[in-house]
Structure 1
Amino acid sequence: MNPRTPSASGRPRPVRSGRRLLVAALATALVASTAACADEGDAAVDDTVAAQEGQALEPAVEVDPGPAPTVELLDEGSGELRVMAYAPSRDAVTVAVTRSASARTTVPGAETRVDETPEQTLTVEGLSEPDVDGAQRATVTAREFTSVDELRSAQFATAPGFAVTWTRSADGIVRGLSLEAPATATDAARAGVEITANSVSDATVAWPTEAIGVGARWTVTRSVEDAVAPERAVTYELTALDGDVATVSMELAAPDAAATLDAPAPDGGPGVTLEVEAYEVTGSGELTVDLRAPLPVDGTTESSTRAVYVDPGSGRRTTYVEDSVLEFRTAG
């Protein structure tokens, strides 16, 4: 079972995206030595987009965005300096968010476990509105959710009308995330929208509170649910600024990896403590950020994880490889 799959009630669970899949995959490979199958969710229904958008939404489900990150300015840049701050939208914007990912866990003598997320695109329309204390409520509504995989695309057909709201401070730090699902949305649609919403939340650029100019560099460090490296550090550089539209490049790293990983046994038996032989998280990309839009309007980010674990009792080496791509494109 994919730990990101919603509960039996069908509603997205109020959890934060993290590295739970890694530990679950390792435990399955080490103890069960079998490949797992992802739960594809409910059968697709043949509702039209118009019908989906017109129906009532279920009560909002709150998702914990985790502790606020720390932001450290490294270089203020040059030229005209200004404090970067998100502001209310003048007009609604439509953005297509495309996500794909793959993960592979390999243990000697066991069948390799592969988890694939084929390229899938969530097209949303939304805007930012004022909230209390200078914060913004960035709300988007799903217009279309498709996948290159026909089965997933059919399941995602129930997503239109899904509403996602981020509450963020003027500097871009996300303080809250909520999801409102159409009553007939399938589990696959709910899970897909939730995972994409978490990815968009992570991609939201947090700005330093100091005034900056082109060439400015700063680091945003946030906590994540990773048993080996519990922090992610993103270093941004402001490469262009035209009015309210900024272009930033980014580099991702995971500092301070632990020397061991405790993998729970899925059968309830004793857990396994693995030695961390290698652990590397990298990422890069470029984003175009409209300070008056609810999410980035253009750009691509890529990230990868490469890990090697050793069971000190048997000497078996487990390798874990994960790659993901997130792309934003203005649509309409």
Structure 2
Amino acid sequence: MTVLSSSPSSANATARCTGSPRRPRVRTARSGVLLLVLAVTLSAFGVGCSDHSETTTEVDGAEPAGIGKEVTMPIPAVTTTVVEAGAEPKSALRPALESGTTQQVTLRTEHHFEQQIDQQAVHDVSPPSITIPLSAEAGTDGVELTLGNVTSPDPNLAKALLPADGSRAGFDITELGAITALRMAPKPATSDAARAALEQAFYQAVYQSIAFPDAAIGEGAVWTVRQQVSGTVPLEQVTTATLTHREGNQCTIQLDVVQTPKVNVWQLPNQAGQLEIVDYLMHGTGTITVDLGLPLPVSGTVTIGGNQTYRDPHTAVTVRQTQRTEVAWGD
């Protein structure tokens, strides 16, 4: 790909002839784009955060507005298609959750993100990883979650997460296992930084979950799950799932994930302009083990990553991003 940029020699020549400070204006424009895109990047790690509608339910009426309340974030619907039905015996995969069933499991998320403007230095703006011990309980329409002592290797975030111990969350789930809503109710003392980190982690987990097909399948079955991923750039995500092993209620599923943009431009917030999407590649793989009788995955890891290139159509400034997200379930 050819990177377009302003010519320093031309700018110098113009400045010498007219006295016009061309180079400072180019640097200022590029710095503005850099700061804006970095700000958008940092605010967009919680994928879908800016695009969902919210409903709130009072938890503690004595707290200020927005504090101590449950926030419900709808998740886009999924479409499943069977590619291969697999070997005999075949049966329909369905969550078989009895109300009151409990499970202890740990969710760990890690997100690596680097960004470069033209030939400037690469900026690593990766948020810290976090580990969330969860107590899950099956309800009539989904899963209720209680957060344990959430930790992070970053000391500042680790300290901010301390008040979140005992916070509540939850998933609304269809009979095919698709998550239709994420509910969050952090403890009132939880800071904005800690809330954002928790929301990001749960969004990553939601979009790397799996829904079952509405058909009988056996070992070796392959199906696809299509879903729109909300965010600063709307994406279509296609997950190809393969049932590699089943023993009773326990299923091992191999995942292959591809994300492609649904638009040709990245619309920056607050009518700040747009960036052309020059190229966009996001691909991931992983394996998870689920027990149809338990609310959450038993174990497994899914990693998705890739590279994107954007260009400002007015200044020809090029923005390159490299990112990788890992979601892991286990003890």
Seen in structure 2, the aligned counterparts of structure 1 residues 143 and 168 have a Cα distance that, compared at 3 Å, is: same
Deviation at 1:69, TM superposition (A): 0.9
Q: Deviations over 1:31-51 (max 9, x none)?
A: 343465969xxxxxxxxxxxx
Provide the rounded CA distance (Å) in 2 between the counterparts of 1:256 and 1:278. 9
Cα displacement (A) at 1:312: 4.6
> 59, 82, 87: which one pairs with 2:91?
82
State the alpha-carbon separation in 1 of the partners of residues 85 and 329 from structure 2. 27
When normalised by structure 2's length, the TM-score is 0.76
CA deviations 1:116-168 (Å, max 9, x no partner) are 12221011011212x2xxxx411110011000111111111111111111111
Residue 259 of structure 2 is matched in structure 1 by 254
Distance 2:221 2:131 in 1: 32
User: Partner letter of residue 139 of structure 1?
Assistant: E
AA paired with 2:308? A
Measured after TM superposition, the shift of residue 64 of structure 1 is 1.6
Residue 297 of structure 1 deviates from its aligned partner by 1.4
Identify unmatched segments of 5+ residues in structure 2.
1-28, 44-62
Does the 8 A contact of 1:162 with 1:181 survive in 2? yes
Q: Which residue of 2 aligns with 1:99?
A: 109
Task: Tell me, in whole angstroms, the C-alpha distance in 2 between the residues paired with 1:88 and 1:166.
Answer: 13
Which runs of 5 or more residues in structure 1 are unaligned?
1-27, 40-55
Distance in 2 of aligned mates of 1:328 and 1:154: 23
Give the secondary-structure state (helix, strand or coil) at the position aligned to 2:327: strand
Deviation larger for 79-88 or 28-37: 28-37
Alpha-carbon distance, 1:224 to partner: 1.6
User: SS in structure 1 opposite 2:157?
Assistant: helix
**Aligned equivalents of 2:292 and 2:214: distance in 1?**
15
Q: 1:228 to 1:183 in 2, by over 3 A?
A: closer
- C-alpha separation between the residues in 1 aligned to 2:229 and 2:201? 16
- Quote the residue 2:209 is aligned against: 204
2:176 to 171, 175, 179: 171
CA RMSD of aligned residues (A): 2.6
Q: Between the two proteins, what is the percent identity of the paired residues?
A: 21
Pick from 169, 194, 212: which aligns with 1:189? 194
User: What is the TM-score with the length of structure 1 in the denominator?
Assistant: 0.75
Query: Considering only CA atoms, is the larger Rg found in Structure 1 or Structure 2?
Result: 2
> 2:163 matched to 1:158?
yes
Matched-pair contact (CA < 8 Å) for 1:140–1:294: no
Between Structure 1 and Structure 2, the one with more helix by share is 2
| 3-state DSSP of counterpart to 2:196 | helix
Q: Is residue 139 of structure 1 aligned with residue 144 of structure 2?
A: yes
Distance 1:195 1:313, change over 3 A: closer
Query: Partner of 2:226 in structure 1?
Result: 221
Amino acid at match of 2:293: R
Structure 2 counterpart of 1:102, one-letter code: H
1:261 is matched by which residue type in structure 2?
V
CA, structure 1 residues 142+272, in 2 after alignment: closer, same or farther (shift >3 Å)? Answer: closer
Structure-1 residue corresponding to 2:131 = 121
Count of aligned pairs between the two proteins: 277
The aligned runs of 1:1-332 (5 Å cut-off) are 31-34=32-35, 58-66=68-76, 68-89=77-98, 91-108=101-118, 110=120, 112-129=122-139, 131=140, 136-225=141-230, 230-255=235-260, 258=263, 260-264=264-268, 271-274=273-276, 276-330=277-331
